[in-house]
């Protein structure tokens, strides 16, 4: 009875977290489809990230299949799109690094390669994990095998690429911030006020991106600890750790939609639509609306495509390219 009650609690926590992520990622997808001005290459990457999060959350909610076929379809799809989700974050990090640190403007040429890399890697890891899996056991986690072989496959096909993505994103954002720090110091040393202003404005936006790797860490740290503990102590579950595992992992889509999707470009697009349809007397009572309408922050969707030239000119004016890239 206690075990059944614990399972019901875990199911409720997982479903609630996945539903919040589904709502957040669906909102970003809807914004991309409705607002034509957001359909730039940089935000297209955010769109595909949101699509992966949306489908990962959807199939997570569809847990608890009653037979082998639905068990297979549920876990195959959930694993595929969850892996795709954190792989899309690495494409965003790569695009940012290539544009800002390498001063390249050819990022749009990588679109096909990104799709091949994300969907192909997700498919390979999912197929590898499915080898020898027992799909006959009902329940939310019917795919997970009890034996050590299944647990090792789970670690290799999911958690290994996950932490590889975390390390890559962290290293990439570190390099971007280091480049901007160097440019800021050079501008101060040369007393170039215009350069200082430009670089500091860009660095303010990049400082926010430095926290993006923490999204994956926060979402999957408890899950990683839980998997390792289960591998070392088979058959012994820590209930509170399982709650943290399922809850934070299920919220990954919500965290991504807030961090990557709700930037100034999206807020401006929403504010413009509200401004278009709301009566004037209501608009005057919403000071936040005018603030959003006039906001011109340099964030991911605008900096990668539109502001690359200004960043390059600023950093090149302050110091030679080789000193910044090194």
Q: What is the mean pLDDT of residues 227-242?
A: 86
- Spell 39-60 as b/e; 16+ CB within 10 A means b: ebebbbbbbbbbbbbbbbbbbb
Decide: helix, strand or coil at residue 106. Answer: coil
* Residue 302 CB-half CA count within 13 A: 18
pLDDT, tens digit, 9 for 90 and up, residues 158-176: 999 999 999 999 999 888 8
pLDDT, tens digit, 9 for 90 and up, residues 60-117: 887 655 556 666 777 788 899 999 999 999 999 999 889 888 888 888 999 999 999 9
**Size of the chain in residues:** 326
Helix and strand numbers (H, E) in the chain are 16, 0
State the pTM of this model.
Answer: 0.78
CATH topology of domain 2-262: Rhopdopsin 7-helix transmembrane proteins (1.20.1070)
Q: Is the pLDDT of residue 177 over 70?
A: yes
pLDDT given at position 254: 93
Flag the least confident range among 45-49, 52-56, 244-248, 301-305: 301-305
Structural domain spans, the chain? 2-262, 264-303
Phi then psi for 105, rounded to 5 degrees? -115, 20
Structure tokens at 83: 């892996």
Mean pLDDT (the chain) is 77
Q: Is the pLDDT of residue 298 over 80?
A: no
């Amino acid at each position: 009875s206690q075990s059944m009650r614990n399972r019901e609690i875990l199911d409720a926590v997982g479903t609630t977290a996945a539903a919040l992520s589904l709502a957040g990622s669906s909102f970003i997808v809807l914004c991309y489809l409705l607002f034509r001005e957001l359909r730039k290459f940089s935000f297209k990457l955010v769109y595909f990230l949101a699509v992966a999060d949306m489908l990962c959350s959807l199939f997570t909610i569809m847990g608890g299949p009653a037979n082998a076929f639905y068990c297979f379809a549920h876990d195959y799809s959930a694993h595929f799109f969850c892996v795709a989700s954190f792989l899309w974050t690495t494409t965003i990090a790569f695009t940012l690094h290539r544009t800002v640190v390498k001063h390249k403007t050819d990022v749009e040429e990588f679109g096909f390669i990104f799709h091949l890399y994300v969907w192909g890697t997700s498919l390979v890891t999912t197929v590898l994990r499915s080898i020898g899996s027992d799909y006959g056991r009902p329940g939310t986690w019917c795919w997970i095998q009890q034996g050590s072989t299944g647990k090792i496959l789970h670690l290799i096909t999911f958690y290994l690429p996950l932490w590889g993505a975390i390390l890559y994103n962290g290293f990439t954002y570190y390099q971007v911030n280091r480049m901007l720090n160097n440019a800021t110091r050079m501008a101060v040393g040369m007393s170039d006020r215009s350069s200082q202003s430009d670089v500091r404005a860009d660095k303010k936006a990049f400082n926010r991106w430095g926290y993006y790797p923490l999204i994956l860490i926060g979402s999957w740290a408890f899950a990683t600890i839980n998997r390792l503990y289960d591998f070392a102590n088979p058959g012994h579950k820590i209930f509170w750790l399982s709650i943290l595992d399922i809850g934070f992992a299920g919220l990954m889509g919500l965290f991504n939609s807030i961090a990557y999707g709700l930037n100034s470009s999206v807020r401006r697009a929403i504010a413009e639509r509200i401004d278009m349809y709301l009566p004037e007397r209501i608009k005057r009572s919403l000071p936040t609306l005018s603030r959003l309408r006039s906001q011109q922050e340099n964030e991911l969707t605008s900096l990668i495509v539109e502001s690359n030239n200004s960043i390059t000119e600023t950093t090149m004016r302050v110091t030679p390219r080789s000193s910044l890239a090194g």
